[in-house]
Amino acid sequence: MGNYCRKLVEFCSGKAVSELCHNIEGNINDGSFSRLTYDMMLAWERPSYYDEEDTTENVAKEKEERKITLNTTQEQDDIPLFYSDIMPLLVNNEPNVGEDAFVWLGSLVPLVADVANGRFTFESLTAPTGNRLHFPAYDMFLKEMDKCIRHLQKHATPNGVELAEDEYILHVDGTASTQRVVRHIGSTSWPGRLTLTNYSLYFEASGVIRYEDALKIDLSKNIEQSVEPAATGPWGAQLYDKAIIYDSTDLSETVVLEFPELTSSTRRDHWLALVREIMFLHQFLSKYQIKCPIQTWELHARTILGIVRLQAAREMLRISPPVPTKFLIFSLYDEIPKGDYVLEELADSLKKGNNGQSCSASSILRSMNISKTVDSCIITDEASQADGSVNVVDDSPLLEAAIKQSREEEKEILIAKATTEELKDEGVIDSVLVITELLKPLKHVVPWFQEIFTWERPIITLAVLAASLMIIYMEWVGKTFAAFLIWAIIKMLDARKKKIREKCYEIVISRSSMASDQSTMESIVSAQHGLYTIHDMMQIANIAMLKIWSILISKADKVLVRFFSAVIMILVKIDSNI
């Protein structure tokens, strides 16, 4: 019964959404779109009468959970206290929706979410509200998206540049109403305006009256190019980690752009994610040979909407901005494990075609007045189909399975890294470094034995072999052991004479090997299970070796006297037996 009701909800919602998409901007402004689509999510999540009991239980559970502090991530721990007091303004006592309903709506109309990264978007949006989406927050999110799109349409074209017909401005920084952007060329710095489109990055240096002609960085070319975080400072000193550096085979020198701000590097991280997203978009089109103009523009439209969602989320959550990659398709799957499999399924599902969609990302942009002449023919071809759609949003089982697997492995990595960090705090890494330092003298002994066993030095090997045979044949094992003990005592007395115990007051360890935390998922996950046991074993081994070391350098006088007495008794006993 429940499955039949849900199918009916899906059918009716598809018909309704196809009508809403024709005037989506006006419907967002008057609140009808957000109210109707939110009710669709509620109906899809609880399609039958019998689900009302579950709803009552969920509401009671929510009230109970509000009394308990939510488990937060490290990023949420850094949120100021007053930020948590703002979020209840976006929460009400009405029924709320969960992740599956949110992603389902994204598969129906790719405005509020994209099926490729909808689950990650939902996590970021609902992290402060217990992973449940309430209507005030949903309505504000849609209205912020509409504001962002209208704001982008007001930006002026960069000086000396003529944008392509399907090229749109996605983000601008460095203007009078925003913070500065500085380009570093050698020892000189040039403030200016930075503009990002779905094809290129433009920097206009500030002039006396107006901006100079823009420097164009083409992100769509199929060449070797990279953009990385960088640090800048006076006289080449890397003091401020707030810049990005772009490098490609087309440029004679790298382009360094700094985003100054007082505290964090949030602006830099935001721009870095946006630039990479455009680069990865064109690399995706080139790698999977997507030549169809409709499919190409559809991917551009989905990328544009992803950036708009990110801008809207940043406006909603200004004090603690969300992680940019959670809203960007290609940057996200370049970062998380098994992301390449998801992109393969995305390309396959895009090429197969799916005419069951009620609206597309490109038709949404058209209805929100982001369209030009070259796109009108594409959209016209698109609109000539039954429901005005092409294969634009992917709901194939293979794509969903790939997303689910990638997400689960990302969670495993996060858990493993959290465990590893916890163990670091408990001193496991320090124990590893201590035992490594204590065993350093053996580094010279082990190669010597290897040379003997592998006959790299035949003379020494023969001498050791002959001495061993003679000791065994002449039954000199006891005498050899006694000689070894005497040699050890001589070394200890020599160490005491040279006052080595004063020189070895502390063991100095190096943390340079811990500078890089880069590791594969398999090594992290497998390591976390054995770290606790290894920690205990290393502590015991360290204590034992430290005691032996203190005896050898005569640091503990009482223990040294006992050791000498024991050695003398052993020697006397061996002598009496002989």
297-332 pLDDT, tens digit each: 999 999 999 999 999 999 888 777 889 999 999 999
Residue 362 lies in a domain: no
Both 21 and 133 in one domain: the answer is yes
Whats the size of the chain, residue-wise? 578
pLDDT at 68: 41
Both 483 and 441 in one domain: the answer is yes
The answer to whether 248 touches 219, Cβ cutoff 8 Å, is: no
Tokens 């239980």 found at:
57
DSSP state of 325: G
CA-to-CA separations, 257 to 182, 243, 271, 443, in angstroms, rounded: 6, 5, 10, 47
Domain boundary among 263, 287, 312: 263
Residue 68 lies in a domain: yes
Both 544 and 440 in one domain: the answer is yes
In DSSP terms, which residues pair with 189 in a beta bridge?
Answer: 184
Domain boundary among 236, 263, 290: 263
Q: Which two tokens stand for residue 155?
A: 């930006």
Both 9 and 100 in one domain: the answer is yes
The answer to whether 361 touches 392, Cβ cutoff 8 Å, is: yes
pLDDT at 61: 52
pLDDT at 392: 40
- Residue 107 neighbours by CB under 8 Å, 6+ apart: 115, 118, 393, 394, 395
Is the full-model pTM beyond 0.85? no
Both 464 and 505 in one domain: the answer is yes
Query: How does DSSP assign 175-196, residue by residue?
Result: STTS--EEEEETTEEEEEEEEE
Query: What is the number of other CB atoms lying within 10 angstroms of the CB of residue 572?
Result: 11
Instruction: Tally the domains of the chain.
Output: 3
Both 528 and 558 in one domain: the answer is yes
Q: Where are the alpha helices (DSSP H) in 21-80?
A: 24-29, 32-45, 51-66, 74-77
Q: Closest Cα to residue 450, out of 440, 464, 439?
A: 464
Q: Closest Cα to residue 145, out of 42, 27, 36?
A: 27
What is the rounded distance in angstroms from the CA atom of residue 574 to the CA atom of residue 466? 24
Both 9 and 99 in one domain: the answer is yes
Reduced DSSP (H G I as helix, E B as strand, rest coil) percent helix, strand, coil of the chain, to 5: 60, 10, 30
CA-to-CA separations, 219 to 267, 273, 305, in angstroms, rounded: 20, 13, 18
Which residue segment(s) compose the domain that 126 sits in? 2-148
DSSP state of 241: E
Both 443 and 487 in one domain: the answer is yes
What is the three-class DSSP state of 130? coil
Both 79 and 197 in one domain: the answer is no
Both 54 and 180 in one domain: the answer is no
CB neighbour class for 133 (10 Å; exposed up to 12, middle 13-18, buried from 19): buried
Task: Identify the sign of the CA torsion 32, 37, 42, 46.
Answer: positive
Both 178 and 126 in one domain: the answer is no
pLDDT at 66: 46
pLDDT at 373: 44
DSSP state of 234: G
Q: Cα 205 vs. chain centroid, distance in angstroms?
A: 33
- Residue 144 neighbours by CB under 8 Å, 6+ apart: 311, 312, 313, 315, 316
pLDDT at 271: 95
Query: What is the number of other CB atoms lying within 10 angstroms of the CB of residue 172?
Result: 21
Question: Domain containing 173 — which CATH number?
Answer: 2.30.29.30
Residue 108 lies in a domain: yes
DSSP state of 236: G
pLDDT at 378: 46
Query: How does DSSP assign 396-455, residue by residue?
Result: -HHHHHHHHHHHHHHHHHHHHHHHHHHHHHHTHHHHHHHHHHHTTTHHHHHHHHHHHHTT
Residue 457 lies in a domain: yes
Both 179 and 78 in one domain: the answer is no
Q: Closest Cα to residue 109, out of 10, 229, 42?
A: 10
Residue 309 lies in a domain: no
pLDDT at 352: 76
Residue 331 lies in a domain: no
Residue 6 lies in a domain: yes
What is the rounded distance in angstroms from the CA atom of residue 403 to the CA atom of residue 412? 14
What is the rounded distance in angstroms from the CA atom of residue 230 to the CA atom of residue 268? 9
What is the rounded distance in angstroms from the CA atom of residue 336 to the CA atom of residue 62? 31
Domain boundary among 209, 235, 263: 263
Burial pattern 220-242, b for ≥16 Cβ within 10 A else e, equals: bbeeebebeebebeeeeeeebeb
Q: Which two tokens stand for residue 345?
A: 């399924």
Q: Closest Cα to residue 72, out of 120, 128, 124?
A: 128
The answer to whether 289 touches 260, Cβ cutoff 8 Å, is: no
The answer to whether 198 touches 303, Cβ cutoff 8 Å, is: yes
Contacts of 67-71 spanning 24+ positions with Cβ under 8 A = 70/130
Residue 388 lies in a domain: no
What is the rounded distance in angstroms from the CA atom of residue 42 to the CA atom of residue 40? 5
pLDDT at 337: 87
Average confidence (pLDDT) per 10 residues, the chain, 578 residues? 79 85 80 90 81 53 47 44 46 83 90 91 87 90 91 89 90 89 88 94 89 92 91 73 91 90 87 96 92 89 94 86 92 90 89 62 84 46 41 64 88 76 59 64 70 81 84 79 81 73 52 45 50 63 71 66 70 60
